[in-house]
Amino acid sequence: MKRTLTSTLLAGLLAVTALGCKPDREPSYEFLPWINYMMFSTAGETNTKSTVFKNGQTNQLPPVGTIPRGFQPLHFTADEAGRDQAGRELKNPYDPTPGNLERGAVMFKTFCTPCHGLGGAGDRPVSKRGMPGFPINNADAGPGTWPDGKIFHMVTYGRGNMPSYASQISPDDRWKIILHVRELQKANKGTAPAATP
């Protein structure tokens, strides 16, 4: 009786093992293959031919006119007229909360200090190597009198020796940098500058 039970269990185990064997695949063993569908994905590989699309490619270009998620196009020309228009039409969507100011300070330190300096006085290594420094911490002149939208336009498109930062700084962080610049201007003058003309 004991021997028969052991033989039956052994035969059952061998049968289950045999059901999972598929020698035509690597690895050549599978246990319960009907639940291992994730092991052998049927999804199209990136650079293989596809029978789904007419052009036979797995990778497809996005439809014309689509934009990446989160992308906010700036519908202004990259010239002085576009800067002035942006100054009139764009308003900073962020309030100067501690979190926004902290993020603006971090991004300013990362991207802006090589030219403008930590305090915004335009006295950093780039200006010391022959490029003209551009102070942005004066509340009574230059960026201190410009509306936020104009500064946002300049960070986005660049101007003169300043390159465009559109591909490096997200729109949200550009606005937060402007909040930090306003704080630098306020600290330099002692009073808050007007953010709009």
Give the chain as a 3 state SS string.
CHHHHHHHHHHHHHHHHHHCECCCCCCCECCCHHHCCCCCCCCCCCCCECCCCCCCECCCCCCCCCCCCCCCCCCCCCCHHHHHHHHHHCCCCCCCCHHHHHHHHHHHHHHCHHHHCCCCCCCCHHHHCCCCCCCCCCCCCHHHCCCHHHHHHHHHHCECCECCCCCCCCHHHHHHHHHHHHHHHHHHHCCCCCCCC
**What is the pLDDT at residue 41?**
60
Contact indicator for 189, 120 with CB cutoff of 8 Å:
no
pLDDT on residue 107: 96
- The domains of the chain are located at 80-189
Put simply, whether the predicted model's pTM sits higher than 0.85 gets the answer no
pLDDT for 149: 94
pLDDT at 46: 65
pLDDT, tens only, 74-93:
788 889 999 999 999 999 99
Residue 16, CA distances (Å) to 11, 23, 90 in order = 9, 15, 69
Write out residues in the chain with pLDDT < 70, as ranges.
1, 16-48, 70-73, 127-128, 130-133, 190-197
Bridge partners (DSSP) of residue 49 are 57
Asked if residues 148 and 197 have their Cβ atoms less than 8 Å apart, the reply is no
pLDDT of res. 121: 84
What is the reported pLDDT for 9?
80
Query: Could you tell me the two tokens for 189?
Result: 């003058």
Instruction: Tell me the per-residue pLDDT of 2-27, one tens digit each, with 9 for 90 and over.
Output: 778 787 888 777 776 665 555 555 55
* Cα 47 off chain centre by: 26
Using CA atoms, how far apart are residues 97 and 54, in angstroms rounded to an integer? 53
- What CATH architecture applies to the domain 80-189? Orthogonal Bundle (1.10)
Query: According to the model, what pLDDT value does residue 43 have?
Result: 63
Give the model's pLDDT for residue 194.
41
pLDDT of 13? 75
